Structure formats: C-alpha cells, structure tokens
Amino acid sequence: MENELKYKWIPRPGINLEDSSYSEFLGFPDPVEDIVQRRGFSPAFLNSDYSELSSWRNLPGAEEAALILEEAVRNNELIIVHGDFDADGITATATAVRVINALGGRATFHVPCRFKEGYGLRETAVRKCIESEAGVLITVDCGITAIDEVAALKKAGVKVVVTDHHKPLDKLPDADALVDPELAGDCNTPWRHLAGAGVIHFVLRGLAEKMGAENIPELEPDLVSIGTVCDMVALTGDNRILVKRGLEILRSNPSPGIQALIRASGVKNTELTARDIGFGLGPIINSSGRITHANEAVKLLLETEPRLAEEMASSLERVNKKRRNLDASVFSEATTLLADTEAHVGVAASAQWHPGVLGISASRLARQLNRPVVLISWEGEIGRGSARGVQGKPVYQILAAAMDRGLLLRFGGHEQAAGLTIEKEKYEEFRTFVDTCAESLFQDVSTPVLYIDGGLSPKNCNGTVLHALEKLAPFGEGNPEPVWIARSVYPVSFRSVGQEGKHLQVSFQQGENTLRGIGFGLGHRTSELNRLLDIAFTLSADSWRGGDTVQLVIKDIKPAARKLN
C-alpha cells in the first residue's frame, strides 16, 4: 500500500525581512535572485557586519546592569551567575563567567538541577548565594518571574541583576536592574528578539567598555551564537549579526571546549553552519541538563586545557546517546497515544517518560501533527511537562489561560515553547480546557505543510547556486533555509542507511544530470521510489566528496505532477 504523503506543499508566504532595492543584487544566479527579491533582503541585511550591532545602551536596563557589575568587579565582590539548564542558558552562563573573570572579576555560577530544583531562580539557589556572601547575583535566561526569590536576596543585602528574554508576569521582581527585551513590548528594534545569551552579551559589552577593555577575545559571541541558534529565536536584526560573527569565530578560532565539542559532534569546524549548531552541537550541550546536570556542559565551555576538554566532550556525547534513546522511546509511545485524536492540542502523559526529553519529543510531534503538543511526565501526583507549538499555532497563550483558570501550578516560556507543572487531579480538566481554548484560536487540524521557495532544475543544483545561497545565511527562525522542488526526476539507485535503516540515500536522474540526495528519517519510504517523482529539498555541500560537489537534503517526495498542491 502506498505510503500516506507527509506534507502538503504550498508556496512560502512572503517574509519581507527588509525594504530594499534589488538592483544591487544583479549577479546572483536567477533562483537565488528570486529569493532575494521575495524576502526583501537589503545590502545591510546580507552584510550583517559585527560593527553594525546595536549599541548595548539601546537595550533598556543594560546601563544599570553594567554599572552594578562594574562596581562589583572593582570591589572584588563575588558575583554568582545563575543560569538555565538549556543550551541558551548554558552558553549564557559560560559567557558571563568567562567575560567577568577576564575583566578581573570574581565570578562563579549556579545552574539548577532540572529534577531537584526545577526551572529558574529558586529557594536552593537563594540560600547558596546568601551563604556564600556574594555581593551580586545575576540571572541569565531566567529570573523575570522570580518575585519572591529576588525579594529574599535583596533582604539579605545581595544586589540582583535580572537578564532574561522570557515573558514577565503582571508584577515584576524588585531587582536592582532588569534587562529583558519583552519589557519593551511590541517594538521593531534589532534587539527585540535576543536570546538569553544575546541579552547578557549586551550587558557584558557595557561592562567591558566601562572597564576599558572592549576588545578582549572572551567577549566574542561564539558561545552566544550557539545559544541564539539553539533557542530558535528569529535570526534577523542583532541575532543575525551575532550568529554570523559567532560562526566566524567557531570556524577559525574555537576555544578548547568548543573544539572538543565540534569533534564529538562529528562536524568540521571550518564548514560549521547554523544547521550544524542546531543538530550537532546543541543536542550535546542540551543533553547534560536533560539527563544529568548542566554543570557538565558549562564546565566544558569554560575549559582551557585541550586534553581535559576532549575527555569532557566525550563524556557528554555518551550522555547524548542516552538522551537519543530515551527520546525515541517517548516519541514512539506518545505518537501511539495521539495517533487517533483530532484534538486541537495533543496532550499525553505517562509515569514512564523521562522528563528531560519531553521537549524534544513534543517538538517533533508538533511538527508531525501540525498542532501544539503537551507531554507530561508523572512523579507521584505531580507532573512536569513541556509544550511546543507550530507556526501559526502558538502555545503560550493557551497555557497562560490554563494558569489563570487554576489548572497549572507553574508555567513559563515563549510563544512556541514552554514548561509547566501540573497536579494529576487537574489533568483531565486541563486536557479539555486547552482543546476548547485552542479551538477558538486555531481553525483547522490539517496536514502539516511544507513551504516551497521555488523550483530548482537539476542542472542548477551546483556549487555556484550553493555559494550564492551561503551569502543569505545563517538560516533559521525568521530566515528559513530555502526549500526547492525539482520536477519529474527518476530515482536510479537508493538504499536505507543509518541505524535501523532510518535514513534514505538516493541518486536521481534527469536527462544527463545525476543528483545525490539524503533524506533524514525517510528510510521507510523506499517503496515509493519506483516511479518519476517530484522532490522537495534543500541544497547542501557534500562533505564526503568535497570540492564544489553538492547534495540534496530531501524533505519530501511525491509522484510527479504538474502543479504544487
């Protein structure tokens, strides 16, 4: 029986990143020129030079935060950096410690244990900070909702700087400085969508300037670029500049910790892309906070001895393998539980699921089902969960309504990603409520869509087009990697590869042109490769064959047809 088609293919809606004059882009190959025009790329956007990064003073609260840190450094006060246990929080933590110490300060860090403390600034961290007689506690990627905890620290005489990028509550913590782009509301500034690592980078630039050391190498945004990509914020404005500059450093002069991490991920640092960060480095960094303790990743990023860094990276990769196995189990079971449901929000729970991998599985399921997904792991009568939305169907507003209804103990996050804590007795009411709420917001539970940027004939799948596309990178949220279609190609050879034949390796022929492709997660679709096909794909360098050789990264396949449908 023919496999059900996974995606509905539709032309990508206009993105309009910039208003620009297209005359300056003559010289790009025609397919890339079309992308430039449809997305409205300007010369400034394509250039994205680090010198064009917004002034750190433009970010509200950064001046006050930098002054407090400057005073603490000059007075040799202990500064505790309190981070989060995901890749954004981990890289933000390491960035802050690295820069403050390089400027002559005395910084250490605390990242909570996901399983014992939970997310954010909590009582355990407050107690440790007070006992250590720290002069300043600075949060990174968290803290904007920690009202009681900040009050306790202030009462004990500790100065508190909150740097975050999450949504605040109606009431703000009474910190000595608050730095959070969310406090600016709906404004169209280059820094509006900074990740947590980007926010602390701005504050540290202010500190370095006040210390007369703006050009220290520790201030480069190499770690910031990792956190920014992994947190899936829009790669536009200052985020694009930070990631582009960070990639240059990661490729040319990685620190010992990053170099070891790159080797463990199996990518080449000279060819590193945002995709490699998202699918290679990021999962290894994240695995520590999900399975063991995020301290391991922070220590790796701060390590300066190559041999020790290699050992630490190897250890983290072993943890990452365990994470992949746990994720596979959760994803399989959750897929079965949600297979026959047509709810506008997929909600599932189990006492057998590892809470550290719920977010990964929820993200994959949300994309597969084209609707928000909430997965919950029970420990006794309390459940900890992760929620993920999809494009056009955010999840934060729904969870906020559930919180207001008294159905959640805690929650927090972004439009498309959030964590939550719930009592088991409220679970069924929660399921019903979020579906009813989503029904009024989302009009359909449809087949997932694959956005197509244009056609690319096999003869144009070459190094010239690939190199032109690289000038539009880095790709990610807000600037998605172009997805092309090629019509009526014939698969002349193919095989399932990878563990358990999970991936598809295939060669296509059209006239005199032969194209090599890899379809990640498509190994089960070999039965469809006995006819002419239309294929949807992105274009990438074929690192195995080198030179200007390219390969197709297959996103979907369909029997050959004339129109997008």
| Helix or strand run (H / E) with residue 376 | strand 373-379
Calculate the CA 448 to chain-centre distance: 20
Beta strand 503-510 with 513-519: parallel, antiparallel or unpaired? Answer: antiparallel
Chosen CATH of 8-44+449-559 out of 3.30.499.10, 2.40.50.460, 3.40.50.620, 3.20.20.140: 2.40.50.460
CB 258, CB 250: distance < 8 Å = yes
Rounded-to-integer distance, Cα 26 and Cα 40, Å: 14
Q: CA 317, 356, 141: angle at the middle one, nearest 5?
A: 90
The residues, any chain, with a CB within 8 Å of residue 357's CB and separated by 6 or more, are 290, 291, 323, 326, 327, 330
Of the candidates 240, 242, 233, the one whose C-alpha atom is nearest the C-alpha of residue 202 is 242
Tokens for 495, please give them.
């095989």
pLDDT at 5: 44
Q: Which DSSP string corresponds to 208-251?
A: HHHTT-TT-GGGSSHHHHHHHHHTT---SHHHHHHHHHHHHHHH
- Report the sign of the C-alpha dihedral through residues 411, 413, 415, 420, in that order: negative
Beta strand 78-82 with 136-140: parallel, antiparallel or unpaired? Answer: parallel
Beta strand 346-350 with 373-379: parallel, antiparallel or unpaired? Answer: parallel
Rounded-to-integer distance, Cα 274 and Cα 474, Å: 6
Task: Report residues of the chain scoring pLDDT below 70.
Answer: 1-6, 15-26, 443-447, 543-548, 562-565
pLDDT at 341: 81
Please tell me the pTM assigned to this model: 0.88
Fold of 50-221: inorganic pyrophosphatase (n-terminal core) (3.90.1640)
CB 196, CB 239: distance < 8 Å = no
Per the listing, tokens 């069924």 go with: 428
Q: CA 338, 344, 350: angle at the middle one, nearest 5?
A: 35
Q: How many CA atoms lie within 13 A of 332 on its CB side?
A: 7
Q: Which CATH class is domain 340-441?
A: alpha beta
The side-by-side arrangement of strands in the sheet containing 373-379 is 346-350, 373-379, 382-388, 417-423, 410-413
Question: Domain map of the chain by residue range?
Answer: 8-44+449-559, 50-221, 340-441
